Structure 1
Amino acid sequence: MTISNKFRLDNKVAIITGASKGIGKAIAKALGQQGAKIVIVSRKQEAVDETAKEFLAEGIEAIGIAAHMGNSDQIKNMVSQTVKHFGGIDIVVNNAAINPTFGPIVETDNLVFDKIMEVNVKGPMELCKLAYPFMKQKGSGSIINISSIEGISPGQGLGLYSISKATLIALTKVLAKEWGADNIRANVICPGLINTKFSQTLVENEKILKHVLAKQALPQLAEPLDIAGLALFLASDASSFCTGSVITADGGYTI
């Protein structure tokens, strides 16, 4: 087998959350282009249907299933529909996340904390647990959690988000240790500032953008495709000996 063949994902079933736009969509397309069957997950059915239609037109086998990652019943339904349609699960990419607040911890309330943790941590954990039996049955699986450099080095005003992303890193390591014997790998990508709708407020703030770019070793703004390549590596057999890895993609911001 050549090294290029190790990146192929033929007949693998991949669930990607937050996949109707931004980083999630770029990852979903990259996996699909390498032969994976794609399950596009986002909150609105209209959005996932539109993305699935786009992928199908490009020759990527894909379906869209709406699910809110803070709703356990919707996550269970999404997994059930995935297995019913494709017969199993090989890859899970937990990309969906929220950050509804900005400011110091002392000014936040418990309801906001609970909401962030439900979507950014509890939802991904629930999805992984539901996918586990199908991966174990196949004797292989890859979990890729999209955290953030905020989970490694918290920035000003992003305290609750940073806590949730640090917890997601810990969750990834726990899954890697507990499920390694089943040949299920779990790794985490920590992007820096990426040009997406999610980070639009930061990108459009000239002062913040200038500060970030000045601190990076590579002084340019990254695009979603810059993360997709890493996800493809971690999803494929090219990374067969990688588990529990925490990979930064931040242009050198955290050096």
Structure 2
Amino acid sequence: MQTRDSQLRGKVAIVTGAGRGIGRAIALAYARQGAAVCCAARSMGQVQETAAQICAEGGRAIAVCTDVADFESVERMVREAEEAFGGLDIVVINAGVGGAQQSVEASDQQTWRTTIEVNLIGAYHCAKAAVPALKRRGGGKVIAVGSGLGQRGIAGVSDYACSKAGLWMLTRVLAQELAQHGISVNQLIPGPVVTQMTGDQMARNTFEGEWAKSPEDVAPLALFLATQPEPGPTGQNFSLMRRDT
């Protein structure tokens, strides 16, 4: 493994969407700082690869097949993390879909609904299931991976933009609800990241003038948020975008 540090030694983290892209990069970064990581995603094969890499490098990880749109599946994810590692300290709500990329008029109703169910209701499921575990631990961190499109939408991405706008409001409300329990809730906006999900958008220069980064470029900010003191920032928006969101 790369040189291990101890910023997250003794901490337990769940990272959803950990099978690839940003989620995978964050899961690896947390493990390299000493955290035990529950790697969750719908694709068991991909998430097993992430967990296997962590373990091969000397870290601790489990892989849990999780559909964030299914609350029972999310509850099982949290339960398995607690059973495997004895508690829960950090939750990274990252799993999501890219949406239809069509106008409202041309959009497919089911695709629009699915985007909301995964990106927004899935985030709600993760928070609802994780909060009791974080309270049992006496505090913790919730990090929601948002999008600049949730702050300032553009034509053709109504489903995705609305789901991320809702996620930002969920972040702020949760922060108010959980502050008294020592649980901080913040949003991380990566900006344009070259992943399997965003490749087509990059090719169309949708993010012209922005910093097109790799998933690994996002990990330091995710680590920063996971290591803030308590009380620390909560209900805040941390962005890696070059332009105003």
Task: Pick the TM interval, shorter chain.
Answer: over 0.9
Partners in 2 of 1:66 and 1:167 — Cα distance? 25
**Are the equivalent residues in 2 in contact too, given 1:192–1:253 (CA < 8 A)?**
no
Match of 2:208 in 1: 213
Partners in 2 of 1:30 and 1:240 — Cα distance? 23
Match of 1:254 in 2: 244
> After the TM superposition, which residues 94-133 of structure 1 pair with which residues of structure 2 at under 5 Å, given as runs?
94-133=93-132
Partners in 2 of 1:178 and 1:72 — Cα distance? 20
**Are the equivalent residues in 1 in contact too, given 2:99–2:157 (CA < 8 A)?**
no
Q: Give the deviation of 1:108 after TM superposition.
A: 2.4
Match of 1:237 in 2: 228
Asked if 1:51 is matched to 2:50, the reply is yes
Q: Give the deviation of 1:100 after TM superposition.
A: 3.6
Asked if 1:226 is matched to 2:217, the reply is yes
TM-score w.r.t. structure 1 length? 0.89
Change (3 A) 1:239 1:152: farther
Q: Give the deviation of 1:106 after TM superposition.
A: 2.4
Q: How many residues align?
A: 241
Q: For each residue in 1:230-249, what CA deviation from the matched residue of structure 2 results, as whole angstroms up to 9, or x when unmatched?
A: 11111113575110011111
Letter in 1 for 2:171: T
**Are the equivalent residues in 2 in contact too, given 1:104–1:158 (CA < 8 A)?**
yes
Structural RMSD (CA): 1.7
Q: Give the deviation of 1:157 after TM superposition.
A: 1.1
Q: For each residue in 1:149-173, what CA deviation from the matched residue of structure 2 results, as whole angstroms up to 9, or x when unmatched?
A: 0001112211110000010000000
Q: Which has the higher helix share?
A: 1
Partners in 2 of 1:234 and 1:191 — Cα distance? 13
Partners in 2 of 1:109 and 1:49 — Cα distance? 33
Could you list the runs of 5+ residues in structure 1 that have no partner in the other structure? none
Match of 1:72 in 2: 71
Match of 2:81 in 1: 82
SS at match of 1:253: coil
Change (3 A) 1:120 1:44: same
Q: Give the deviation of 1:118 after TM superposition.
A: 1.2
Partners in 2 of 1:254 and 1:157 — Cα distance? 20
Could you list the runs of 5+ residues in structure 2 that have no partner in the other structure? none
Identity of aligned residues (%): 34
Match of 1:184 in 2: 183
**Are the equivalent residues in 2 in contact too, given 1:233–1:239 (CA < 8 A)?**
no
Partners in 1 of 2:230 and 2:192 — Cα distance? 25
Letter in 2 for 1:103: Q
Partners in 1 of 2:18 and 2:7 — Cα distance? 20
